[in-house]
Structures are given as C-alpha cells and as structure tokens.
Structure 1
Amino acid sequence: MITTIITFIIVFGILVIVHEFGHFYFAKRGGILVREFSIGMGPKLVYHRGKDGTTYTLRLLPVGGYVRMAGAEDDEEELKPGTPVSLYVGDDEKVQRINTSKKSTLFNGIPLEVTGTDLEEELWIEGYENGDESEVKRYSVAHDATIIESDGTELQIAPKDVQFQSASLGRRLMTNFAGPMNNIFLAIIAYMLMAFVQGGVPMGTNQVTVASSPVSVAQKAGIKTNDKIMAVDGKKTSSWTDLSTAIQPRANQKTTLTIKRGSTTKQIVLKPAGQKSNGKTVGMIGITQAQNKHVGAILASGFTQTWMMTKTLLGALWSMVSGHFSLNDLGGPVAIFATTSQATKFGMVGVLNFLAFLSINLAIVNLIPIPALDGGKILLNIIEAIRRKPLSENVEAGITLVGVGFLVLLMLLVTWNDIERFFIH
C-alpha cells in the first residue's frame, strides 16, 4: 500500500507539473504574467516568490495543480469596499504591498479601510486611513506591487498590460495548447525510458528469445535465442501475435514447430506447458519476443508507441460517443490509484508504461472541446479568429460556468462509480 501511495503521488505529480509547465512556459513567452504556479490543491503548505514575478506554491492535496495567469477566468480578485488592509508605501510614494491577511503583518503598514480600487488600468487604491472617515485618501500603486491574500500568499497584482487577454491571439492559443502538447512529449519520453529499461524494443516478428530456466520447454527442446519459429503444426507464423495465438490453445498437446536458424530449417516437437491465466489454461513454452537493442530503435519507439496508443484511445473515445456510453468507461483519481497498484507489480517498466498511458489520456481528454478544458479554450480562440473579435466577457464566462458545472458533476459521478467498482463490490 505504501509503495502504491508513493508511486501514485509521484506519477500524478509528474503529470501535473509537466502539463502545467507547458501553460507556464508559453504564458511567460507570450508576455502574460503568471501570478501563481501551484503543485497540489487546497490549503497551501509553503510558497516562494520568484524574481520573475511568479509565486510558487506547494499545497496539501497531491491531486492536481494549476497555473494562475493574470486576467484569466480563474484569477478572480477584488478588494471590496469595507475590506481592511494595510499598505506598504515605497520611497517613490507608491504602494508596493497590499496586505489583506490577518496571518501576515507588515511593519510600518498604513491601515486603510478600502472604499475603491483600480489595480488594472490607472493603478490606485483609496479608503479611510487610520479609521478617519472624514477623508478618503488615494494612493498610487506600483505596476509590480504585490497583494497578500487572506491565506497569507503574496502575489503580484495583475495590470491590464500583462493580462491573458492582452496577449495576441496566437500566443493565447499556444498557451492553451501547451499543456496537452507537453503531455504528448512526456509520453514519448516515458516510452523511450521504458524501452531502455527493457533493454530494447520488441521486434514483433517470429524471432524469439528463449528464457534461461530449467523448466523452459523451449530450452529443453533445443530452441535457441534468435531462432525464428516459421510455423506451428504447419500453420505459418510471421509475427509474434501469430506465434502466441497458435501456441496458447495447445497446452499439454504434442506440437511441431518449424524452426529457422540461420540458413537451416528444422522441426522440433514439444508439449507447451499449461498455465492458468484469467481462469483459462493456456500453452506456454518459455519464449519472449526478440528485442531490437539499437539506440535508434529505442528512441523511435517513443514516437511509434505514443502514436499507437493515441489511435487506440481515440478509437475508444469514438466508440463511447457513437455507441453505448457507460461510467465504467471513465476513471477518476480513485481508478488511477487502483490501477497504480497493478502497475507497481511490474516494477519500473509497469510504472513507466502507466505514466505514458495516463499522459496520453490527459492530453486527449484536455483537448475535448468542452468549456473549462483546454480544448474548450482553444475552440473559443478559433471562434475569435473566425469572428475577428472575442466573444463578450459575459458570454465567455457563462459558457465556462456551464463547462465547469458539467465537469464537476461528471467527476462526482465518476468518483462514486470508481469507489463502488474497486472498493465496495
């Protein structure tokens, strides 16, 4: 259980960090202020303000993360009239820090009860100083001033010129696409690493590697590594799939294999051993796929495996949409945790394969054009490009709200279904 928990946290952490770093990097490149880069959700544990203007936070729940971009829909910030704050004014007579938190105290802070603010365009804050309601005092706010939020996290304010909507359409579209793109890159790298750990890439042909074991049927019969099994009881086998399909039904039955070794062809008679698998007895002779150990093949496997898995997942998604939909087709954090337990049994290869699979899943799901997902945001970018102007803020906010509501409801249903599947029944 401990191994599963640690693996789950590491795998989930890698997925989130890589995904969010894509948004983070391209937002920075596009001149968008990233106010916060958070790993985890919920209450903050620690935070660090970088010289780049971004606050980096680690939060309690290791089941997600986010990039908080200035002016984006998840960057709601408003100092309401009546809010008590304290101000730190610099030598240039401009406010450098605005403290709204009772958890953090600013030395020499000026107490102010807010009556109005503009932290986007004209950059000012005004209110009653020291409880004196006879006069409203206004202060200019520095462009790079910070605000300490109620939980004690210090973030840079978000002037209009560094907000998400102020970036060009192309840069906004790239920022939205970068998260799923990074997950595709992660899958490619994970599959490459998996091939290195395995010592090569399965060749998929009828060439075999013989297991070195006293109980190996193939070894006892005289089959050697790099032999090619051309036929099983006269039935031609040109691929590993052909070979395994022909041998598995022949448990404990006398079977003739046609073997090619170099330029020599010979026949070997053996009886595949019977082994239980998923409640059935299948024939096994103690061979594995021959491996291509060339570095080029290993590197290429990252791309080919990612492409094959992407096609498989897209096919599954299409069958869900066009056929009978079931919640069992989906899985949330509970299902991922349960599957992590299975992956860890296969060691590093199993974990890397699982990481690649999840990363492709995350990329594909995020590109579905549902509001609140990256795909929904990209769709809005495309609509803006066609219309040559963005949708109104109210329309976009309404669409996003519907998308968020749908996703929250779906996540609740999926999570409960996963709990029933894996822990109740």
Structure 2
Amino acid sequence: MQQQPGLLFTLASFVAMIAVLVVVHEGGHYLAGRLFNTRIEAFGVGFGRELFGWTDKRCVRWRVNAIPLGGYVKFVGDMNEVSQIDPAIMALPERERRGLFAFLPLWQRAIIVAAGPLINFVFAILILAGFNLALGHPSSPPVVDKVVEGSAAAAAGLQPGDRILSVNGTSIARFEDIVTEVVTGVGKPVTLDIVRAGVPREVTVVPKMVETVDRFGNVTRHPQLGIVRPAEVIEDVGVADAFRLAVVDTGSIIATIGRTLRQVILGERSLAEMGGPVKTAQIAGQQASLGLVSAIAFMAFFSINLGFINLLPIPTLDGGHLLLYGIEAVRRQPLAEKVQQWAFMSGFAALMSLMAVLTWHDFGSVGLWARLSGLLG
C-alpha cells in the first residue's frame, strides 16, 4: 500500500490546485468583462484580508488574500464579492453608467457570468487533449475477456468474447464506457445488449455491491459485474482527434457528475459519498504524490467538477445569476431588489450548510472521529 503524503505536502498540493483553478475560472469572467469594456474593480485570489497585491494601469486591484479557497472578480458597482449589485448605483446619471456591469445588456451579463464555468471545461479539454497528443489515447474494446467465477456476470450467463453494444440503452464504444455506466450506478439490474458469435442478445445482470481499496487505503463501495477487460490499447492520435476525444471524455465526466448528483437528491446514494474540501485536499495530495501527470489529470477532473457545480441554479453561484437573468428575460424586468437579496442570502446559507455537512463526513472518512474517540476512550 502506498504511503499517505504528509499534511504539509497535501495542503500545498491542494492550495496550488485551487489557486490555478481560481485564476482559470475568474479569468473567464475577467476576460469576458474586458471583451465588453466592463469596469473592473478587483481580481481576488482567496478571500478575507489582502496579503499583498498591486493595481494595474486600468485601476484593477489584483489581490492575493489570506483564505486560499476560492476567488472573485469584483466589477465596479458590485456590493460584494458575489456580484450583488449595490442599489446606490441605480441612482447614477446616464453619463456615469457606461461600463458598469449592472447596466450592460442582459445577453452581455449572461456571457460574462457563464464564461467562468465554461472556461473550466475548456481548461480540462486542453489538458486532456494534451495528454492524448503526448501519451496517446488509451482504450479497450467493449468485449468480455474473462468472466469472474461466482460473479454477477457468471450468474447471468455472460461469456468470454461477448461484445457489449449498450448498457441500459446507452451505446458503448469502449470498455471504459461499461465501467462508467456500471460503477456509477446504485446496484440496480443492468440490461446489456450484446453480440455473441454474430447473434444479438439481451442479458440482464444484477451487479454485486463490493468494496475496493486503492493504493492509499481509500475504500469505495460500488456495483460490480465481474467481467475482465481486454488488454488496453494506446492509440496515437492527431490534433483534431485529440481534441475530439477530449471533448467526449469531458462530456462523459459531466454526465457522470450529473448522474451522481441526481442519485444523491433522490436518496439512492448517500450524501457522505460526495467529497467536501477535506476529502478533495486529501485526494489532491495523494495524486500529487504519484507525480506531475497524476496531479494535472486530477486538476482537469476537478476543473470539470468546479464548472458543473458553478452552473447549478443556486443564488451566489454563477448558475444562480443565470437563473435570475432568465427570469428577467421572461419578465422583461429584473426581480425586486429585496427578492434578489433574499435569494442570495438563502443560497449562501444553503451552500454553507452543505459545506458543513460534507466537511463533517470528510473528517469521518479521513479517520479523525475514530482517532478522537480512541483518545477519549
């Protein structure tokens, strides 16, 4: 079993990853704002007290703050770092409104807000495309190489050589797609469309729930069919295919995140399975300890997560702003200021509550509560 990285290494890896992704995400807002000549007050990495910073020739204050979790672009006229509009600017005369975010056309505001999450996806695609070009694109054909004795697949009658065409109606192009569809499930029966000796068949398999332990001792519980994949093939690809495959892989990850979130909302999956900041930091440290490639790969995965989460329609998140803009487009006028303030406060309270719950579960998953119990016992 691989030795766990030290606390300082883990924290440094996590902070470095967050810093890069914050600059990427907020850089999307910043560049889109610049595109529409929006007046920007500050670009902050982290929250809280400013540790150091500088002011550029456009009067933008670039800040590195004390709490290295998150960041913001603050436009002139924003009341705070989550881009709530200061009501006082609504009384400004017409000549002083030019370049203020609050008075931009609705479509421009929407583009500026959406640019943050979208650039997270673009960043991940660039990383994955780079891997495809430098290392090749790994895949295995969707063919059963072996069937594990006593497994769910054996009970369902699957045989070596069976080619799997779809899982629960979802087309399969490679063996990795089978793994994604099954492992992210919750143990319900799985319908496989297969071809055996040229004859199409339909097979229903009831996966077994198993626990696996990775090289760092992390335990995960997931469904398992009990089939062995064929040898992995590394395909050399050109630039166009590298980006095409990166887009496909990014879309697959987004679909998996959405599926997992739906399962949590419906109660099919425990909230404890969603990692919070402590668990994310632990995994970031573990991946960084495996080398630069593993660290960058995890950063790409987390960038996709960050983009997805920020698009959720929760006030204070980018998706919440986009939701309010959608309502404004339908009503042809924004919601009342008090309603927007209530929405932002409610969204903030909900996010903080969720973060507290996830952190509580994280402490349990890293063994803190067990160690405290041992000390007190």
TM-score of the superposition, structure 2-length normalised? 0.68
State how far apart, in whole Å, the 2-side matches of 1:316 and 1:206 are. Answer: 23
Q: Which residues of 2 match residues 15-414 of structure 1 at below 5 A?
A: 15-74=21-80, 121=92, 160-197=97-134, 199-205=135-141, 235-236=160-161, 241=175, 278=213, 288-296=231-239, 297-324=241-268, 326-414=270-358
Cα distance in structure 1, aligned partners of 2:78 and 2:325: 14
Code of the aligned partner of 1:168 = P
Aligned partner of residue 260 in structure 2, secondary structure = helix
Any conservation in 2 of the 1:193–1:352 contact (CA below 8 Å)? no
Q: Which has the higher contact order (CA 8 A, sep 6+)?
A: 2
Residue matched to 1:14: 20
Q: Give the Å deviation of 1:35.
A: 0.4
Aligned equivalent of 1:107 = none
Report the Cα offset of residue 237 of structure 1: 5.7
- Structure 2, gaps ≥5 residues long: 1-5, 144-158, 165-173, 180-211, 215-225, 371-377
Inter-partner Cα distance in structure 2 for 1:365 and 1:294: 31
Structure 1 position 389, deviation (Å): 0.9
Give the conservation status (yes or no) of the 8 Å contact 1:33–1:53.
no
Report how far residue 326 of structure 1 moved.
3.3
Describe the shift of the 1:415–1:392 C-alpha distance in structure 2 as closer, same or farther (beyond 3 A).
same
**Contact 1:45/1:59 (<8 A) preserved:** yes
Q: Deviations over 1:152-192 (max 9, x none)?
A: xxxxxxx5433221111001111111111011101111212
Which residue type is aligned with residue 273 of structure 2?
A: D
Greater fraction strand: 1
Structure 1 position 65, deviation (Å): 0.9
Between structure 1 and structure 2, the one with the greater Rg is 1
Q: Which has the higher helix share?
A: 2
Structure 2 Cα separation of the partners of residues 289 and 35 of structure 1: 51
Equivalent pair of 2:129/2:243 in contact (CA under 8 Å): yes
Relative to structure 1, the CA distance from residue 384 to residue 46 in structure 2 (aligned partners, 3 Å threshold; closer, same or farther) is: same
What letter corresponds to residue 351 of structure 2 in structure 1? L
Cα deviation, 1:363-395, whole Å, max 9, x if unaligned, reads 111111111111111010011000111112222
Q: Distance in 1 between matches of 2:343 and 2:90?
A: 26
CA-based RMSD:
3.5
Q: 1:413 to 1:206 in 2, by over 3 A?
A: closer
Counterparts of 2:284 and 2:80, CA distance in 1: 31
> Residues 289 and 325 from structure 1, CA distance in 2 versus in 1: closer, same or farther, beyond 3 angstroms?
closer
Q: 1:423 to 1:43 in 2, by over 3 A?
A: farther
The number of equivalent residue pairs is: 292
User: Deviations 1:278-328 (Å, cap 9, x if unpaired)?
Assistant: 49xxx9x9x951211122433322111101111111111111222346331
Kept after mapping to 2: 8 A contact 1:30/1:172 = no
Cα separation, 2, equivalents of 1:54 and 1:384: 29
For the residues of structure 2 that align with 1:118 and 1:4, how far apart are their CA atoms? 44
Cα 1:206–1:374 change in 2 (3 A) is closer
CA deviation string 1:9-66 (max 9, x = no partner) = 2211111111111111112222321100011222211111111221111112221111
